[in-house]
Structure 1
């Protein structure tokens, strides 16, 4: 089609050169065949209907868009109307019929590449941002100390040098305040007890420790041109590199396009992972909502990772709902979760303060879905490579090399026959929510301190989805009539100790019942097998964490939580 069109254009150019002053115009021929070069090779011989518009000019016939030619955001999935897809090209609209055709073609291409589609949110999912105006002056300096410490460590600095780099970032003193302080100091008894105490305090403050420098917090960025600090979620780069082996990835945010592109640069500096597939609020067809209508690829092949479920009213079945990431205390306060930010938790980042590395759990769900979707094809084992890639990168992050270069992997394509006979009827939404044969078939799981009690859709939590993808059935209570076989609990310490919940206590006194940490589920997914529960047991050695053969109905109390957020969050029950 393209060659024929170019040939026609070349011929026309020659004719125009031979007859100067003659203007050419394209004339649609009634009854022309689908391969006619004059109509662009579309199945329809003439316009209208127009296949699409670029800045209100038809991309086939060149006529200007008129009233009735289709309004952007028209009937979804129908033949009438058109939809703006400006993230693909500024000013581009496609007729809904043409968009559905493009989706079918993209689905075919993606399946042949052995991938699914992954749509990723930005804020509180992959990163957390705060404007300069939201931070105090001291918080500004704390951010710069963290950045200086991380840069020093990345360049091979010792622990002492890292502390010195952070200590070098000091507030600029107000000259008036400094002069006043000197006058007070001159009139004070510097040899007295009070003077010594103040001097010692200043020395301790100067030497540290400074926020986030032991070990240094990484991937905090100062975007001066946007008057903003942005902190990437721990292991964000490792997650994206691993997920790219399994999925074609999109960014979809309610932020504007400029913000989305800036954040994409932090997450994907080379542009190889998203390759322009960045959707901002101005690209969405619904205000304050997100929709897969502008994402190429069919919905049965799409997974979504977002911290908010209410923005996906039409696509909840595709959603993996991740817990919100709060680095800045203003972010946590905005969601009525004071005290839940990294800044307020002794600067201990996610995965290092008793909660889980959420992106690792999300990757486990994606890998499980990919494994089941491509079962029986050449791409079936790609999930193993992706998990191994992220785990290796997480280990490297301990030595400040998490960012690294994107590793070129050997993707395993699917044959045309496999795509036609095995994959066309498969739906990733069913594979994640309907327990079928799997390594945890006949296992009935109850969660305790894994999903926040206030969560309206706990079934979209990564660990819940992971359990069902493995073939397990998830129950809301140990005494719901079926009988739980496993209690999966948070394995924290202190007030967050999962061993103290009523559900775990029930498992301890129920013969053969198991109470295990969430690491057990993750390990079962990694090995795609039911691993030994005793290695992850929350019970004493006498209980053994063994699995019973017959259901046992709960006879004791149960904790009020359905299961989430790290202990201590609002609505969380012991």
Structure 2
């Protein structure tokens, strides 16, 4: 009996010990979990504080080597720390002393914000910023900028950067002066249908895809072989050798897209970079814009981050020079669509759309066989060796326009001495002579600057034939006609007795036949282009339309 009690007592004691042990372990486990939660919460708060401090000092960490001169003032070092009382002050000395130097949050003009926090006083942004990329019409967005605290997002310069319009104006002017001091213009380039043409995989049939894949594979093999050969002979830019020609047809699987670069694009960028500071501005998204820019500028020597996508623009459906660091009076724009630049038509060089893919041409309701894949000939290619090219290399004509603009802006007085303050407005270079229709002064308009030695074609009245489409809204912005006007010629829009030259693509048009009967010069576009590039009036007989 006593043994039973003893056994029962032992069993009861054992059960109690086991229960106590379980309870203790449970309490320890809860305590451990609670401690872990506290540690997690503490770590979370620590990270938030670090993030906030990082925002305050971000502008002091920005890499500015690739940021334009005028843009550096937007992101210049301004270290700000928390003084423990919720007030952010400069971290370069005694807090009380710095508090006297620093304006209060209420008095701060908020020159710039990084991720919504003022880089000067640390206050969060409360004003509506002009950041584009959605909601509201373009005119509505422009009106928002009229206030004293108006801001503009310049994310393409640095992620999260928003600046006051006052600071933006100062930065634009600084960049303008610095670039003019270098004897350069500003050039804004569109991508799609201007410098290249892209097409999605699902817009192509099987036959087209097979053909493209073969071309891509062949181009990649040729480029690899060319690179090896140049490496063996010590070629390359550094040794003064010829730069290898990059492939101009790409299969971008990560975008499910084929992209074809426009002929002469590499040579164009190389030459334009000598007289222009270049930007990319596209209605495509930012990732696409940077991917395309890497194709046309694989070495990263032309744009240096000056790549503006749709989300960077202050307008949702149009483009504007408001966020381009530079001046409207020294900026040229190259685009295939004039209507997207409603405020800057005078800066525009409107190029013919480049359609390599069939789907690209049909989407714009172009004529049958308007694409390169359908007709089999690209720009600058001839049907047979020795024959003239059937389709002009458009970028060569654009380069001629830029050359005329640069020369006519009078950066030099002839002795090599630059006078940036005396340069002409680039928009006026191509407005000395208008598009004269029949009955307007007989088709002639007097030149504003008759004494200029650069007006090589003064006195020439040129009648275009087949140069621009009949439904072109702005035929005066075509590259060849801009060259003609920039060199002093007058453009006639109708046949009249004052016409001296007929500029034609083909030799069987009514205007060409009319001109031949009167013994007029019948020339092709190469005459204008070469006059511009050689800065001389060349013999028209060497450029007759065939």
TM-score (norm 2): 0.70
Question: 1:173 aligns to what?
Answer: none
- 1:114–1:379 Cα contact (<8 Å) kept: no
Give 1:412-423 correspondences, 5 Å limit: 418-420=419-421, 422-423=422-423
The correspondence of residues 141-220 of structure 1 with structure 2, limited to 5 A, is 141-156=210-225, 218-220=247-249
- Which residue number in structure 2 is paired with residue 466 of structure 1? 483
Query: Residue in 2 aligned with 1:488?
Result: 503
Question: Aligned partners of 1:136 and 1:351: how far apart in 2?
Answer: 27
Match for residue 93 of structure 1? Answer: 162
Among 123, 130, 135, the residue aligned to 2:204: 135
Distance 1:23 1:464 in 2: 63
Distance 1:37 1:419 in 2: 41
Structure 1 position 52 matched with structure 2 position 107: no
Correspondence for 1:26:
89
Counterparts of 1:234 and 1:128, CA distance in 2: 11
Deviations 1:162-182 (A, max 9, x none): xxxxxxxxxxxxxxxxxxxxx
What is the match of residue 360 of structure 1?
A: 396
The structure with the larger Rg is: 2
Match runs of 1:319-398 below 5 Å: 319-337=348-366, 338-346=368-376, 348-353=377-382, 354-377=390-413
State the 1:379 CA deviation: 10
* TM-align CA RMSD: 3.1
Could you list the per-position Cα deviations for residues 542-571 of structure 1 after superposition, in whole angstroms to 9, with x for gaps in the alignment? xxxxxxxxxxxxxxxxxxxxxxxxxxxxxx
1:253 equivalenced with 2:282 (yes/no): yes
Question: What does 1:253-332 correspond to in 2, within 5 Å?
Answer: 253-332=282-361
1:127-161 C-alpha deviation (Å, 9 max, x unpaired): 0001111112222111111112223333559xxxx
Alpha-carbon distance, 1:527 to partner: 1.5
Seen in structure 2, the aligned counterparts of structure 1 residues 361 and 429 have a Cα distance that, compared at 3 Å, is same
- The superposition leaves residues 323-371 of structure 1 with CA deviations (integer Å, 9 ceiling, x where unpaired) of 000011000010011310111002x211215010000000000111001
Once the 2 structures are TM-superposed, how far is the Cα of residue 452 of structure 1 from its aligned partner? 1.3
Task: Please state whether the residue corresponding to 2:470 is helix, strand or coil.
Answer: coil
> In structure 2, what is the equivalent of residue 222 of structure 1?
251
- State the partner residue of 2:514: 506
- CA-to-partner distance for each residue in 1:387-434, whole Å, 9 max, x for gaps? xxxxxxxxxxxxxxxxxxxxxxxxxxx75xx223x12xx210111222
Q: Which residue of 1 aligns with 2:267?
A: 238
Greater relative CO, 1 or 2 (CA 8 Å, sep 6+): 1
Change in CA separation of 1:96 and 1:9 when aligned onto 2, cut-off 3 Å: closer
1:102-141 alignment, distance < 5 Å = 102-141=171-210
Counterpart Cα distance in 1 of 2:207 and 2:257:
15
**1:517–1:536 CA contact under 8 A, matched in 2:** yes
Q: Is the 8 A contact 1:329 1:344 kept in 2?
A: yes
Q: Residues 120 and 249 of structure 1 are in contact (CA less than 8 Å); yes or no, is this contact kept in structure 2?
A: yes
Q: 1:24 Cα shift? A: 7.3
Q: Distance in 2 between matches of 1:144 and 1:101?
A: 50
**2:22 alignment partner in structure 1:** none
SS in structure 2 of the partner of residue 97 of structure 1: helix
5+ long unaligned stretches in structure 1: 29-34, 158-215, 381-413, 491-497, 540-574
Offset, 1:27: 8.0
CA contact (8 A) 1:520 1:536 kept: yes
SS of the counterpart of 1:433?
coil
Shift of 1:509: 1.4
SS in 2 for 1:123: coil
